[in-house]
Amino acid sequence: MESLTELQAKLVRAEAEIEKGVGSLIEERALIAEQAAEGKDVTTSRDLLLILEDTHLLNTQHRDRLRRELDGATAKKNRRLNA
């Protein structure tokens, strides 16, 4: 089992990755909208955007799992301290 410090560090990294991903998604959506407005074929760009969105979802789910694991480990530690 990982220590609380290790879990917290992983959570911080996961949250940073999500934040970075949100920025990337915003930029890509804007770029695709701009290219579509110019009449360019954005089929491949939209396909790639779907992959980015799927990756972002996986990162978010991983972050949520880390939060639950950290919450459980913290609760367990608190129960031991209060016993």
**CA dist., res. 49 & res. 32, Å (int):** 9
Average pLDDT taken over every residue of the chain = 95
Residues in contact with 82: Cβ distance below 8 Å, sequence separation at least 6, in sequence order: none
Q: 55 falls in which pLDDT band (50, 70, 90)?
A: very high
Q: pTM for the whole thing? A: 0.84
The pLDDT, as a whole number, for residue 83 is 76
Asked if residue 63 has pLDDT above 80, the reply is: yes
What value does the mean pLDDT take over residues 20-24?
Answer: 97
Domain positions in the chain are: 4-75
